[in-house]
Structure 1
């Protein structure tokens, strides 16, 4: 539970203790201490249950949801449907948005395509309200018991995750039940009833719900609490709709906070979220009575009840339905304007100018939001391996020209690139370390260890270039010999093969491409053959009378040997992708 949420709950309890002094009469005898404890405890159970359920859902379905998001975005309507489905399953629109930002950054989808998914994510969040509106509180303790047994007795990680999901859902319903019971005495407390009447004003309801949602950073939690209050007959349907509208605006705070310090694409995605939610509320605020009438027409009714009892029986389902209808209608309206929204956002948030030299490189894909979903977090590490590989490839591209005919300055420039490789290496390892603290399946643990090994191999390639090849270039300049044209062709030809091997190794790890990985491993014979040919060339050159021929021979042989070492690390890196039973012993 976050610190603002703790403060909020404690503040709520203190408010309950001070409320009698603000207007209670002698006839109104409410046990404020008992009520405060019940309300606080119920709210804690409700919010913890939602978090437990969402974490378990993300762990169970995260990897599959990533695949669905990546494939089913062929058009704006399919994107919206996909965003709604994925968010409904993983119960986090922010995680869906983070995934989308990653796909944009990796070039897998355009910003315009992503808008449909972000709109659909709002529909997916309404599933929580629908679940909460079902009156299954009698089964809450059974669900907690079954979930607890699966979570703490089973040794199968998948069963434990499903147990966590069931237990979380049970806690949601049990927390609702406790809060509902705690609120019953307030039915006769006039100051509280007067406060609820003030919520009939749409503007007040929207502001209150937006502030509350911004504080606890969960629109689903706000809507759930509104439904709990509705179940006691405290709020009418129009008031409940206004509060749901406010929750939609308040959740924009979460999106904006999550985008701070992130790539431009993340900030733009958050801005789309803000524009879509705020515009939707402004569009509907004058039509709340009409939306209420429409929802009543198809929601379950209880004519056998009357007064508060009927209000408490009908309103929760009506609010949940209104919340869903509102978000679906908004998506159907705004989805036709995704291209225009994209242009507006890109105009408001233009691309940054290229950063000045000297600014340290930083990880592009390692997002804190995904740490609670290990399968997705590990996938972001693979993208960051690609980012790190780009730096290593830049070193490889520059090192051979610098060795053969470059200056001390050009060699030092290559060495400085390794500082960027080292920074990314440290950031990736730190991120992997935080992933390891999560609840991982056996397969995820194996994947994490393989990624640690692959990143280490990639860092070793950078170190070999910086420490060994750069030194050989400085040695060539210091001694003062020139590399002959035939030898230059031999070294460059060998180097091109090494570049291809490293590129293949990075590709195999970032894409989990076993075919490319096998191809990199199979290059061993080609590398050996080229090395033998180079050795023969060097031996023939050794007998030619020329100044510094011994120093030249030694340096050129060392260049070949260091490049063979680079291939060794590239081959090890590729092997981390290949199943152990398919790896051939060297």
Structure 2
């Protein structure tokens, strides 16, 4: 049972370390996500400012993986040149070693202080930024605590014959040690955690310094594998940044692996303590990579373009264009992305509605097919937005973000319903009209065209209300619902008058004509719903449209 306890203690300590790293990264991203992204853009003037920006950014985020994914997103959208992104990554690799340097010192006394400060800040503040900074302090405290626990948990391993046998097998097999550490680091997605774990084993005397150096090389390579595979399904521009980072680490790692003996000898002069020796090598690894590859950024970028060439892709109208997965940890930015994609969805629905009259008025079968294809794209886009919103909601949403989340989800659902009404109902009517070669009367066509134009105008107004949340526009949209009800009654009266006159076109298209009016009114009803949450929040909605009955008045308390 002692062996089981040791394994569980080590595993728990490692998981606590990973959770601490995640808390720090998440807290800083949510508190300063937009500022950090602007900082990257500001540092992208040349490779040297980009390198410095990468050092600072990753020194704060404590994750070169997070920086790599962020840069991949920037590169895929053309916001930063590939060579500059690679320079930022070289700086990011140096920046992530700064945290390891700090944590390599004996700072155990800081852990309870940081946790206490973080919990107090988190529980005693209503401000989102203060709560996020409290989360950062808690994360730092947990990281320091986990290292202390890990050192204590790993102490029995020195007397474990099985563990000693495994390490003995790796002792002279440095290539195997590199592969093992790279795979482990890829699995946990954190080179910092792997380096700190190796450092803890070395300080406990469990591993020899040379083996520790090989494991550090593997941790550096594994830290570059994770973001590369995370971007494997994205477009080619996004994949090139982590590929360039992986190339630099593999090349430098292979070169340093050949000189472990001299490197150990040189680093021992600086600080012979095993933990400090390994963390110094971790920093030296990234510095050497920067010195070698910073002047070679342009050739490296060209190599990445050659290895991952651009391929012409057919435009997929159902592919989302604004849902950036790298801002999901910042709910305000993620909701802004979802809002932009919802406007894109609204434009596609507007195009469908615009083509509806062509199909109905001109018996255009091609327009019917085009609208059916467009509805498939709308469905795919709606599913993408819905999934993105669900991923966003897994984070803590403030009151305002929570309200906006519901508004976006509700409006996208209504837009998808509008698309279904156009495709499943209006196009079925158009197909029936085309099949039977019916024609509307001139007056009926004019009525439908006018009714359709008003609904199309209200769709544009609904998109503006959704974007601006303007109360005046929202009131206007709701007022249009009453006007559309009156317009429906007027169109019905006019149509029945034509039926009484015995107009043959009106008689044969009567059911189609009235169904089109009904479906257009249903569409208008779905569009109007976007205004109600805005008016309700502003106190502009009455509780009921019903007039009080006599019985209600009789039940009212005296003097009311």
- TM-score past 0.5 threshold: yes
Find the counterpart in structure 1 of residue 21 from structure 2.
Answer: 50
1:340 is displaced (CA, Å) by 0.6
TM superposition shift of 1:416: 4.6
Instruction: Tell me if the contact between 1:53 and 1:168 (Cα under 8 Å) persists in the aligned partners.
Output: yes
Distance 1:378 1:130, change over 3 A: farther
Offset at residue 555 of structure 1 (A): 7.1
Describe the superposition over 1:111-155 as per-residue Cα deviations: whole angstroms up to 9, x where unpaired.
666545555543443344234223211221232333344445656
Q: Secondary structure at the match of 1:398?
A: helix
Deviation at 1:514, TM superposition (A): 3.7
Query: What is the aligned-residue RMSD (CA, Å)?
Result: 5.2
Cα separation, partners in 2 of 1:32 and 1:436, compared to 1, 3 Å: closer
Answering whether residue 174 of structure 2 is matched by residue 222 of structure 1, we say no
Instruction: Trace 1:299-338 onto structure 2 (pairs within 5 A).
Output: 301=271, 310-312=272-274, 314-315=276-277, 317-329=279-291, 332-337=294-299
Q: Are 1:365 and 1:381, in contact at CA under 8 Å, matched by a contact in 2? A: yes
- CA distance 1:122–1:318, shift in 2 (3 Å): closer
Equivalent-residue separation in structure 2 for 1:194 and 1:484 (angstroms): 88
| Alpha-carbon distance between aligned partners in 2 of 1:489 and 1:245, rounded to the nearest angstrom | 75
CA 1:193–1:471: 2 relative to 1, 3 Å: closer
2:106 to 132, 135, 147: 135
Distance in 1, Cα, partners of 2:315 & 2:131: 47
Q: Does the 8 A contact of 2:69 with 2:227 survive in 1? A: no
Report matched runs for 1:504-543 at 5 Å.
514=468
Report if aligned partners of 2:75, 2:238 keep a CA contact under 8 Å in 1. no
Offset at residue 325 of structure 1 (A):
2.0
- Equivalent runs, 1:555-570 vs 2, <5 Å: none
Question: Aligned-pair distance for 1:481?
Answer: 5.1
Distance across 1 between alignment mates of 2:70 and 2:540: 32
> Given that residues 219 and 248 in structure 1 are in contact (C-alpha distance below 8 angstroms), is that contact kept between their aligned partners in structure 2?
yes
Out of 343, 346, 360, the position equivalent to 2:308 is 346
TM-score normalised per structure 1: 0.70
Is 2:391 the counterpart of 1:429? Answer: no
| Maintained 8 Å contact 1:116/1:338 | no
1:420 to 377, 385, 391: 377
Give SS of 1:243's match: helix
User: CA 1:426–1:481 in structure 2 vs 1: closer, same or farther (change >3 Å)?
Assistant: same
Q: Deviations over 1:288-307 (max 9, x none)?
A: 6777788778x6x5xxxxxx
- Aligned-partner SS, 1:137: coil
The farther-off stretch of 106-115 and 208-217 is 106-115
CA distance in 2, matches of 1:213, 1:406: 62
Please list every run of 5 or more consecutive structure 1 residues that lacks an aligned counterpart in the other structure.
1-16, 18-30, 302-309
Q: Structure 1 residue 246: deviation in Å?
A: 1.2
Matched, 1:449 2:406: yes
Query: After the TM superposition, which of the residue ranges 385-394 and 414-423 deviates more from structure 2?
Result: 385-394
Asked if the contact 2:101–2:280 (Cα under 8 Å) also holds between the matched residues in 1, the reply is: no
Q: 1:55 to 1:558 in 2, by over 3 A?
A: same
Q: Which runs of 5+ in 2 are unaligned?
A: 543-560
* Other structure's SS at 1:548 match: helix
Pair 459,194 (structure 1): closer, same or farther in 2 beyond 3 Å: closer
Question: Measured at CA, do residues 44 and 488 of structure 1 come closer, stay the same or move farther in structure 2, by a change above 3 Å?
Answer: same
**1:168, CA displacement in angstroms?**
1.9
Query: How far off is 1:170 after superposition?
Result: 1.3
For 1:37 and 1:177, locate their aligned partners in 2 and report how far apart those are by CA, in whole Å.
Answer: 15
**Which residue number in structure 2 is paired with residue 173 of structure 1?**
144
> Structure 1 stretch 117-126 or stretch 487-496: which is displaced more?
487-496
Decide which of 207, 218, 228 is 1:246's aligned counterpart: 218
Q: 2:364 is matched with which residue?
A: 407
Aligned length: 539
> Once the two structures are superposed, what CA deviation does each residue of 1:437-489 show, in whole Å capped at 9, x if it has no partner?
43222232123122212312322332342255435534653674557999989
